[in-house]
Amino acid sequence: MIRLNINGKFHQVDVEPNTPLLWVIREQVGLTGTKYGCGITQCGACTVHLNGTAVRSCGIPVSAAVGQRITTIEGLARGKTLHKVQKAWLDHEVPQCGYCQSGMMMAVAALLKDKPKPTDADIDATITNICRCGTFQQVREAIHAAARAKA
Ligand code: FES
Ligand code: FES
């Protein structure tokens, strides 16, 4: 049995230690907001936080997440209060199909924690998530709006 702390709750899962964290989050724990895109750490659809750092969960064995704080898109809001990234996403109507957006928002939330006022160059260097709908311009605008927001 493997014990994981996901969004502040403990879960016991019976999986092989090298199972990708993405599949444990989705299949064993049932949190399906984290998406499978490529499975080879290229697209960012599966981005979650490990101790506040953005990671691509398709490339992390579940054993590497033991003893760490895992946060998924379902844990980004504080109760009913949306994270400022989620608010900016709504205000700027960023998503189209929405498939990439959980991972996108998790990557952006981690960026804003490290760099509260990111430049366009910071965004280009850090937010390498792929959006097949081409929402990149709205993503950039929403990141700057979230950076201006208080909380
Ligand atoms: S599914 Fe993990 S990076 Fe694409
Ligand atoms: S909103 Fe459709 S893939 Fe990004």
Mean pLDDT by 10 residues, the chain (151 residues): 97 98 98 98 98 98 98 96 98 98 98 97 98 98 95 67
* Structure token pair of residue 96: 């189209």
| Spatial separation of the C-alpha atoms in residues 127 and 82, rounded to whole Å | 21
> Angle formed by the axes of helices 101-114 and 84-91, to 10°?
130
**Ligand 1 mutation target, pool 25, 35, 42, most atoms within 8 A of CB:** 42
pLDDT of residue 150: 77
Residue to mutate, 36, 131, 137, ligand 2, most ligand atoms under 8 Å from C-beta = 131
Is the minimum distance from the CB of 132 to ligand 2 under 6 angstroms? Answer: yes
Q: What share of the chain is helix, strand, coil (3-state, %, to 5)?
A: 40, 15, 45
Ligand 2 and 100: CB distance under 6 A: yes
Using the atom order of ligand 2, give the atom closest to the CA of residue 134.
4
Q: Give the count of beta carbons closer than 10 Å to the beta carbon of residue 129.
A: 25
pLDDT for residue 151: 67
pTM of this prediction exceeds 0.75: yes
The pLDDT of residue 40 is 98
Ligand 1: which of 40, 50, 72, 132 to mutate, most ligand atoms within 8 Å of CB? 40
Tell which atom from ligand 1 comes closest to the C-alpha of 57: 2
